Chains A and B, each alone.
Chain A
Amino acid sequence: GAGVSQSPSNKVTEKGKDVELRCDPISGHTALYWYRQRLGQGLEFLIYFQGNSAPDKSGLPSDRFSAERTGESVSTLTIQRTQQEDSAVYLCASSSIVTSGFTDTQYFGPGTRLTVL
């Protein structure tokens, strides 16, 4: 497809379990972002990948959260020992090579709705 895809679209898990969320960016996009959107709240930045550079992990809320990306392909966001406060929509976005002035347009996926019981 032409857009960013995410899977699964919905995930219900029990507290304490690990979950893995997947993001397929637009082909050729070197930058990839993960965000979290809690109900009624704005998006929170989690992590950013740009090419082969070290990822910007400054938004990860705890060491239970981690993400990987190999090259310019698929990324996975892993949440270990899930807690109820992890319930949110997790959105992935990708963008093409960043131009000077940092005006890259981000293209968002539909998100994964995570519910932790």
Chain B
Amino acid sequence: KNQVEQSPQSLIILEGKNCTLQCNYTVSPFSNLRWYKQDTGRGPVSLTIMTFSENTKSNGRYTATLDADTKQSSLHITASQLSDSASYICVVSRGGGSQGNLIFGKGTKLSVKP
């Protein structure tokens, strides 16, 4: 079954600290993996997209890693800010020609406290 599992479900950290969010997937065939940030009441915003051949990609204070062998990805946030409070969603795209085959995780809700 094509699934994307994220952990933890929720996380509270202090401003300035680092954190790492995890994503495990069982999607096949694999095309790419995306991380999105979704603020409450808003649509998701793309952070990174990684294909099979990429194992790390950065976007400012966000660094995503991908291990296609173990089917795991992580999103590392450095020097967290209050504005990082949001849900972070891992999405895996299936290959096979259909662009509609995006499998979404349920997200990790991150709260950054002052």
Considering the complex, give the chain A residue whose CB is closest to the CB of B6: A42
Chain A residues with Cβ below 8 Å from B44 are 43, 91, 93, 106, 108
Asked whether A110 lies within 8 Å of B100 as measured between CB atoms, the reply is no
- Inter-chain CA distance A50–B98, complex, in Å, is 10
* Interface residue A79 (Cβ < 8 Å from any Cβ of B): no
Residues of chain B within 8 A of A86, CB atoms compared: none
Task: List, in ascending order, chain B residues with CB within 8 A of A48's CB.
Answer: 98-100
**Interfacial chain A residues near B46, Cβ < 8 Å:** 105-107
Known interface pairs A91-B43, A93-B43, A103-B49; A47-B100 also in contact (CB < 8 Å): yes
Q: Tell me how far the C-beta of B30 lies from the nearest C-beta in chain A, rounded to whole angstroms.
A: 11
Chain B residues within 8 Å of A, Cβ to Cβ: 4, 31-32, 41-46, 49, 51, 89, 91, 93, 95, 98-102, 104-107
- CB atoms of B43 and A111 under 8 A apart: yes
Beyond A42-B104, A59-B100, 11 extra complex contacts between A and B, CB < 8 Å: A4-B43, A40-B106, A42-B105, A50-B99, A56-B98, A56-B101, A91-B44, A101-B32, A102-B99, A106-B46, A108-B43
A109 neighbours in B (Cβ, 8 Å): 43
Tell me whether B31 and A102 are in contact (CB under 8 A).
Answer: yes
A98 to B32, CA, bound (A): 13
18 A/B residue pairs, CB under 8 Å, sorted by A = A33-B102, A42-B89, A42-B105, A42-B107, A43-B89, A43-B104, A47-B100, A50-B99, A56-B101, A58-B101, A91-B44, A101-B31, A103-B32, A103-B51, A105-B46, A108-B42, A108-B44, A110-B41
A93 to chain B, nearest CB (A): 7
Beta-carbon contacts of A20-52 to B below 8 Å, as 1s and 0s? 000000000001010100001111110110100
Q: Give chain A residues whose Cβ lies under 8 Å from the Cβ of B99.
A: 31, 48, 50, 56, 98, 102, 104
B89 to chain A, nearest CB (A): 7
In the bound complex, CA of A105 to CA of B105 (Å): 17
| Chain B residue at minimal CB-CB distance from A46 | B100
Q: Give which listed residue, A45, A91, A101, contacts B100 with CB less than 8 A.
A: A45
